[in-house]
Amino acid sequence: MKKLLAVFALIVGVSGIANASSRDDLFDQDRRDLINDLRDQRNDFRRDERDRGGQNGSFNEEGYLRCNADVRRAVRNGSYRSGRDHYNQWGYRENRIIDGRCEASDAPRWFNDRCYLRNNPDVAQAVYRGDIRSGWHHYVIDGERERRNYSCQ
């Protein structure tokens, strides 16, 4: 009887382990499916956003070229047909300003362009060279992500 109980315990134990393994596999598959669904939704959103020209379809060709000197040069030399062409290929991924609001005067009240340029001399040089329009322009594209200092203190 003891042997029979031992064999039964072994079978139940192995079965329990097998079931646990199956549950883990199912959980892993569910998790992979969820991740893939979220990735698909993100890609659909990006594609829709790109096709609309940014939030609320606010793409402004003249403003885009004014705010993005490198794109303006690329359009001029024929690398892209238009600013919109560049935006559809790269600009939406690069978080480019699409509505033309890249001047220091376009910044919100909490942002001080002079202080930002003083705190970030590399950005000041880029503004001086004409690579970007203002400290605010840089902050929107890269500065916030880079956690650049904009404080006057």
- Asked if the model's pLDDT at residue 6 lies above 80, the reply is no
With a CB cutoff of 8 Å and minimum separation 6, the contacts of 49 are 55, 92
Q: How many whole angstroms separate alpha carbon 105 and alpha carbon 93?
A: 25
Specify the pLDDT at position 32.
Answer: 74
Three-class secondary structure of residue 40 per DSSP: helix
Considering only residues 29 and 77, tell me which one the structure prediction assigns the higher pLDDT.
77
Give residue 48's pLDDT band: very low, low, confident or very high (50, 70, 90): low
Confidence class for position 23, pLDDT limits 50, 70, 90: low
Mean pLDDT of the chain: 78
Q: What does the alpha-carbon distance between residue 84 and residue 99 come to, in Å, rounded to a whole number?
A: 12
User: How does DSSP classify residue 140?
Assistant: I
Q: Do the beta carbons of residue 64 and residue 91 sit within 8 Å?
A: yes
Stretch among 26-30, 72-76, 135-139 having the lowest mean pLDDT: 26-30
Greater model confidence, 24 or 65: 65
